[in-house]
Amino acid sequence: MKDDFSLTQKRALAVLTVVALGFGAYFLRGYILLIAIAAVLAYLFAPLYQRLRTKTNVGVSATLTLLAAIATVALPLAGVVFLAILQIDQAVNSVSRWAEQTDFTALAQQLLDSANQLLARVPFMNITLTPDSVREAATTLGQNAGEVALGVARDSVGGLAATVTALVIFLYVFLALLTNGDKVVALFRDLNPLGENVSDIYLAKVGAMVSATVKGQFIIAVFQGAAGAISIYIAGFHDGFFMFLIFLTALSFIPLGSGIVTIPVGILMAVFGNVAGGIFVVVFHVVVVTSIDNLLRPFLVPKSAHLHPALMLLAVFAGLQMFGFWGIVLGPVLMIVIVTTISVYLVVYKDASTDSLTGTSADPADDEAERQVPWWRRILPGKPKPPQAAKPEEDPEPAPA
């Protein structure tokens, strides 16, 4: 059938195919994020599905893989969130007890005087706070907060149905990609006009970035978030451990890290009297938390998924702006696709080295020598030197007769 088409018809068919793919992306734009999340999870749990497939049929294997995915992702997250809610409740009770024991009249006057003293030092401003002005501002804030709460409650009624619908679609897409992953990969190879070799490079790069972001970066973020929360707990702030754990773990996904919270917390603790605890939090973050990334990244993040820190920072924040929380994973994946495309162009048109595509050095002996370096030496500062090969012993010269 291929020979039945003229060159003009083939070009027209190529244009129509591009238009159809573009319209399909536009038609499914409301579910692109959901499809992308399902694809990421299907890729991560595909090895488990393949192992189960050798022992059971398709339906049982897919069901067991789905249950494993729920147990791996949803249950731990729900447990941590539940503990965080309990701690929030404890914090609210602590605030309530503090409120019962505090003279708010004297406290409010003291805060008002302090605020006026600070405002008096600001140049070109003549603002004086009074109880009436504060009361009016509080009333306005309460009205605005009430309107926002009503809007959220109104949207939640329709949001519940949308959530159930999205969950059903997600399950179908996840199971479809899980059971037909090979066909989807083959379809991508066939549709890619750059050929199968370049398609394999893209698939390898995207797969490495997904594994690095979800597996490697997630493990690193959990360790860093737990370390930061433990340091704050040891320093004397015992309320909200699980809240800090969740918050610091989420921040550890971005290159800036959890230090944007723990360091200011340590400084505030030192300013408000807990000098030793504040210094401990800051020093612990600089020495221990930052070292966790240096220790674990060489083992959890493959070379083919490495991005420059500036590109990684841009990818994460751009992904968060475009996709929300899931942008932590999808942003770096899109960035690695962009970088790979530029690398392919440089290789094809500028005769550049293929090292950036393969993730290996130009000399295979260098990679072999690097693998021979002990793991403990690779994580230390400085460039490790591979062990020297033992020289063969020379046969002693025969003694003169």
Which of the pair, 80 or 203, is modelled with greater confidence? 203
User: Average of pLDDT values for 23-47?
Assistant: 87
pLDDT of res. 159: 57
pLDDT of res. 362: 44
Assigned token pair, 383:
């460039």
- The answer to whether 41 and 176 are in contact (CB under 8 A) is no
Helix axis angle, 196-210 to 32-53, nearest 10°: 90
* Maximum average pLDDT range among 16-20, 292-296, 330-334: 16-20
pLDDT of res. 106: 64
User: Average of pLDDT values for 347-358?
Assistant: 66
What count of Cα atoms within 13 Å lies in the side-chain half-sphere of residue 8?
0
In terms of C-beta density within 10 A (0-12 exposed, 13-18 middle, 19 or more buried), how is residue 275 classed? exposed
- Cα–Cα dist 176/169, whole Å: 11
Q: What is the pLDDT of residues 287-306, one digit of tens each?
A: 888 888 778 777 776 666 67
Q: Which among 289, 261, 233, 248 has a CA at the least distance from the CA of 80? A: 248
Q: What is the pLDDT of residues 52-108, one digit of tens each?
A: 888 888 888 888 988 888 888 777 777 767 776 776 666 666 656 665 665 556 656
Taking the domains of the chain in order of start, what are their residue ranges? 35-96, 194-360
pLDDT at 378 over 60: no
pLDDT at 33 over 80: yes
- Report percent pLDDT > 70 for the chain: 70
pLDDT of res. 377: 45
pLDDT of res. 205: 82
- Cα–Cα dist 336/338, whole Å: 5
pLDDT band at 194 (very low <50, low <70, confident <90, very high): confident
